[in-house]
Amino acid sequence: MACDRFTRELNDHAIGAPLGSAAAAHLATCSSCQMRLERETRLMAAIDFAIDQVGSARPASDYQVRLREKASVRTRSGHGRWVLASVAVAAAALVAVAIDLRPSRRPAGAPQGTPATTIARKAPAGVPEAAPSPLSAASRPSRNTMTRRDVRSATGGNGRREAEVLVPRGQPETIARLLASLNGQEPAVASQLVGRTATRADVYQSAETPVSVAPIRIDVVNVPELRALEPLRAN
Amino acid sequence: MNDWVARWPDRVVSAVPELDHEFEERVGDSSRLAFGIAYGVLRNREDAEEIAQEAFARAYRRIGQLKDRQRFRAWLSRMTWRLAIDRWRADRRRQAREQVDPGIWRPSTEEVAVARERARHVWLAIDALPEKLRIVMVLSAIEGHDTREVASLLDIPEGTVRSRLFLGRRQLAERLRWLVTDSPES
């Protein structure tokens, strides 16, 4: 019966807890408790051994190298966030152009070949007129904010519709490829870059919302020139 | 306005390389730690390496949010732990793999087979520990980690680490006592 009193204390002693004087005195004279303690000690040794085995596990010899490579690739691609942002903006602008490639809105009777006129801000059918941009025409910083108003349409001498679009400087090729994609060659690519399949309402919304392109220089590029470039391929 | 526009990209880009350099240093300092934690949970080298990589990737994306950079290792530890635990919980196939893993079940000698079997039971018992005990057991198991290091990583007092280690070992002993009771040596 005395053994039961010390069972817990002996078990804890095997884990590392100090042994009280009464338990120590009992242990010195009790062979049953000595065996119990020896068994518990063996159990803890087995547990520690198993834990140590896992704790001393080593990664593959090239793990560090792979991790560093991955980290450096990642850090390099960190700069790509700005490129991606630019592409997203470009895509939004392009979609606006694609939607606006429809019959000219020149005043009736205007002669062919007259200079381009600015398309009036007007919501497509079924889309409520958007609230005026917080950046009014007067306060808007030049052409650094892209809105639908910035998209110009013109009719060439052959009667075909032509257009100019304001694109981030250095990215006409991206725009061109997206345009080609929107023209039906690779529609999935454009949808992917825009983030979803754009509807007229989406386009109108995104074009009316002041797109954050302030840091990007804008160039005017003729859409026909852009069309001459290779379309973007999904790969 | 145009001047501001012209300067802006430079300012953005110049901030990034400093962060990149710091992060690459952190990778060197803490790669073994991340692996050790992930391995302690998953006990599979490839899975552990994958989780460690994922943890570093996540850390890279969020390092700007870490105000005290001296806490990087602790922050990474928690991130790795959570990722590893999520993987461990979600990966039902892992258990099936253990059942048929020849590395575990094919004994070269009876002694090795017994040791492996014991180790497997020990780690299953560790897996079943409450999380706050389990993480202390895993971190302590990593080579070179003493109580102070574990306390620092978990941001808890050393005394708490010691008591959790003790409680964890006691629970393990209670769950695994049958291992020595039923063995021929006992």
- Minimum CA–CA partner of B141 in chain A: A55
- At a CB cut-off of 8 Å and minimum separation 6, what does B57 contact? A70, A74
Residue with tokens 């140590």: A52
CB-CB contact of A153 with A221 (8 Å) = no
The share of chain B scoring above pLDDT 70, in percent, equals 76
Over residues B39-87, the pLDDT tens digits come to 999 888 888 999 998 898 888 888 778 878 788 899 999 999 999 998 8
Q: What average pLDDT score do residues B123-150 get?
A: 89
With CB atoms and an 8 Å threshold, state whether B13 touches A79.
Answer: yes
Closest CA–CA distance from residue A17 to any residue of chain B (Å): 8
Q: Residue A155: beta bridge partners?
A: A161
If you average pLDDT over residues B166-182, what whole number do you get? 86
CATH number of B1-97: 1.10.1740.10
* Rounded Cα distance, B43 and A97, in Å: 55
What is residue A121's predicted lDDT score, i.e. its pLDDT? 35
- Do the Cβ atoms of B23 and A63 come within 8 Å? no
Domain residues of chain B, as ranges? 1-97, 101-179
- Cβ contacts (< 8 Å) between B56 and chain A: which residues? 67, 70-71
Starting at the earlier edge strand, list the strands of the sheet with A161-168. A117-118, A152-155, A161-168, A218-222
The residue-averaged pLDDT of B144-164 equals 91
User: Quick one: which of A166, A157, A147, A155 has its CA closest to A204?
Assistant: A147
CA-based nearest distance A85→chain B, Å? 13
Q: Which of B142, B145, B174 minimizes the C-alpha distance to B158?
A: B145
- At residue B38 the predicted structure's pLDDT band, cuts being 50, 70 and 90, is very high
pLDDT for residue B77: 93
Name which of A47, A48, A65, A219 to mutate to probe chain B: the one with the most chain B Cβ atoms within 10 A of its Cβ: A47
Burial class of residue A173 in the structure, from the number of CB atoms within 10 Å of its CB (0-12 exposed, 13-18 middle, 19+ buried): middle
SS3 annotation, chain B: CHHHHHHHHHHHHHHHHHHHHHHHHHHHHHHHHHHHHHHHHHCCHHHHHHHHHHHHHHHHHHHHHCCCHHHHHHHHHHHHHHHHHHHHHHCHHHHHHHHHCHHHHCCCCHHHHHHHHHHHHHHHHHHCCCHHHHHHHHHHHCCCCCHHHHHHHHCCCHHHHHHHHHHHHHHHHHHHHHHHHCCCCC
What is the pLDDT, as a whole number, of residue B64? 77
Question: What pLDDT is attached to residue A60?
Answer: 85
Q: Which residue has the higher pLDDT, B111 or A130?
A: B111
Whether the per-residue pLDDT at B181 is higher than 70: the answer is no
Secondary structure class of A154 (helix, strand, coil): strand
Nearest Cα of chain B lies from the Cα of A76 at a distance, in angstroms, of 8
As for the ipTM of the complex, it is 0.71
Which chain A residues are closer than 8 Å to B181 by Cβ? Answer: 39
Residue B166 has pLDDT above 60, yes or no: yes
Q: Which of B181, B178, B185, B44 is nearest to B110 (CA)?
A: B185
Residue B173 has its nearest CB partner, among A11, A51, A144, at A11
pLDDT digits (tens, 9 = 90+) for A60-81: 888 888 877 776 655 544 444 4
- pLDDT at position B132: 93
- Which one-letter amino acid corresponds to residue B28? G
On average, the pLDDT of chain B sits at 78
Residue-by-residue DSSP string for A158-212: TS-EEEEEEEETT-HHHHHHHHHIIIIISHHHHHHHHTS---HHHHHHHHHS--S
Q: Do B49 and A56 touch (CB under 8 A)?
A: no
| Nearest Cα to Cα of residue B175 among A174, A11, A108, A156 | A11
- B40–A43 C-beta distance less than 8 A: no
Flag whether pLDDT at B11 surpasses 50. no
CA distance B63 to A93: 33
Residue-wise over A153-165: b if at least 16 C-beta within 10 A, else e? bbbeeeeeebbbb
Whether the per-residue pLDDT at B154 is higher than 80: the answer is yes
Chain A residues with CB under 8 Å of a chain B CB are 11-12, 14-17, 39-40, 42-44, 46-47, 49-57, 59-60, 63-64, 66-68, 70-72, 74-76, 78-79, 82, 141-142, 144, 214-217
Best mutation site among B4, B8, B14, B20 for testing chain A: the one with the most A CBs within 10 Å?
A: B20
Question: 3-state DSSP call for residue A117?
Answer: strand
Residues of chain A with pLDDT under 70: 1, 71-235
For chain A, domain boundaries: 2-55, 85-227
Give the chain B residue nearest A42 (alpha carbons): B180
Query: What's the pLDDT at B170?
Result: 93
Chain B residues within an 8 Å CB radius of A39: 180-181, 186
Rounded to the nearest angstrom, the minimum Cα separation between B97 and chain A is: 18
Range ranked top by mean pLDDT from A169-183, A209-223, B22-36, B144-158: B144-158
In this structure, CATH architecture of domain B101-179: Orthogonal Bundle (1.10)
Beta bridge partners of A166: A220
- Using the predicted structure, report yes or no on whether residue B167 has a pLDDT greater than 70: yes
- At residue B18, the pLDDT reads 63
Q: Do B52 and A59 touch (CB under 8 A)?
A: yes
pLDDT at B179: 80
> Per the CB < 8 Å rule, is B122 touching A60?
no
> CA nearest B51 in A: which residue?
A67
The whole-number pLDDT of residue A183 equals 57
